[in-house]
Amino acid sequence: VRVVRTRAELREARAALPGRSVGFVPTMGALHEGHSSLVRRAREACDAVVASIFVNPTQFGPNEDFNRYPRDEEADMALLESLGVDIAVVPGVEEIYPPGASVTVDVGRLGDVLEGAARPGHFRGVATVVTILFNLVQPTHAFFGQKDGQQTVVVRRLVRDLGLPVEIVVCPTVREPDGLARSSRNRYLGADERAQAQALHRALQAAEAALAEGEWSADRLREMMRVELANAPLAVPDYVSVADAETLQELDTVDRPALASLAVRFPSARLIDCLPLAGQARAGLSRPA
Ligand code: AMP
């Protein structure tokens, strides 16, 4: 793996890549099996693979975990090497945001709901850094995890609205044996919190199962998720949502592709998870009259 730290080094390394297609996996490091799955998928699909490790300050709020976010460059590089990554981009903040940088990318209402309501400005930071990284790396394909469901919706919209020449590939969420989605933030959890954290996936599965059995009232699905989350008394729900998969507007009836998503606050970490829902048409049920 070739490690590049500046825009100039990246430009040179990018120009020297073999083949036609370049797969890009942007990350914030502290890599785990979720990230590895994206890199493997990129390796399969593309002639060359670029991964970035950048803890993006503009997507963290003032009271969030930017300073304590886990960083382990040595382990990350060893993993990227073992996965056959061609270029690892590890830029300093000033390489991404030159002194006096003032241009941002605003995604509109999509960035103001759910995670965006809980974390004002988060998706402006995400859309801005993704746009900058796409321009610097010039990938043909970029790989994102389903785990950050709203992020995938925002990135697809960004690429569509701005006409960015990159294909977005969304990869399935990698989970622990008990269902907890792999996350760099899971290491913050104490033993009791970790045990209760499986409630997130349980809640999503309850909604998925109920929908498959014909419960298409989004209100009732949200209520079922809240009941499951009550099994995690250490967790305070931030939001519980069943929304249109493209607009992220809350649904009354799951009559189209939807995203069930939730966020909870444990004392030591805030966790999110989501599951795409097919909508009742694909569950083999007819629309309600
Ligand atoms: P992060 O380093 O948390 O910014 O994540 C970088 C990329 O890895 C994003 O596209 C995430 O959605 C993806 N990712 C993180 N955790 C998982 C997971 N458990 N399964 C699949 N993808 C993941």
Count of other CB atoms within 10 angstroms of residue 230: 12
pLDDT tens digits, one per residue of 84-139: 999 999 999 999 999 999 999 999 999 999 999 999 999 999 999 999 999 999 99
Residue identifier of the C-alpha nearest atom 15 of ligand 1: 34
pLDDT > 70: percent of the chain: 97
pLDDT tens digits, one per residue of 184-226: 999 999 999 999 999 999 999 999 999 999 999 999 999 999 9
- Cα(122) to centroid(ligand 1), Å: 16
Residue identifier of the C-alpha nearest atom 22 of ligand 1: 145
Mutate to test the pocket of ligand 1, among 33, 146, 147 (most ligand atoms within 8 A of CB): 147
The contacts found for 129-132 with CB under 8 angstroms, 24 or more apart, are 129/26, 129/54, 129/56, 129/58, 129/59, 129/96, 130/26, 130/155, 130/158, 131/105, 131/158, 131/162, 131/164, 132/96, 132/97
Residue identifier of the C-alpha nearest atom 12 of ligand 1: 145
With beta carbons less than 8 A apart as the criterion, state whether 255 and 279 touch.
Answer: yes
Which residues make beta-bridge pairs with 25? 51
Residue identifier of the C-alpha nearest atom 7 of ligand 1: 27
- The predicted model gives 24-34 an average pLDDT of 98
Place of tokens 């020449």: 165
pLDDT tens digits, one per residue of 126-148: 999 999 999 999 999 999 999 99
Give residue 289's pLDDT: 40
Residues recognised as catalytic: 35
- The predicted model gives 50-57 an average pLDDT of 98
With beta carbons less than 8 A apart as the criterion, state whether 54 and 95 touch.
Answer: no
Place of tokens 């241009």: 103
Starting at the earlier edge strand, list the strands of the sheet with 87-89.
Answer: 2-4, 87-89, 48-53, 22-27, 141-145, 167-171
Question: Does 149 sit in the ligand 1 pocket, CB within 6 Å?
Answer: no
Question: Does 181 sit in the ligand 1 pocket, CB within 6 Å?
Answer: yes
Question: Does 144 sit in the ligand 1 pocket, CB within 6 Å?
Answer: yes
Mean pLDDT of the chain: 96
For residue 173, the ligand 1 atom closest to its alpha carbon is 20
Question: Does 147 sit in the ligand 1 pocket, CB within 6 Å?
Answer: yes
Question: Does 148 sit in the ligand 1 pocket, CB within 6 Å?
Answer: yes
- Cα(136) to centroid(ligand 1), Å: 21
- pTM for the whole structure: 0.96
Is 90 exceeded by the pLDDT of residue 284?
no
- The predicted model gives 23-29 an average pLDDT of 98
Residue identifier of the C-alpha nearest atom 5 of ligand 1: 27
Q: Grade residue 281 by pLDDT with cuts at 50, 70 and 90.
A: low
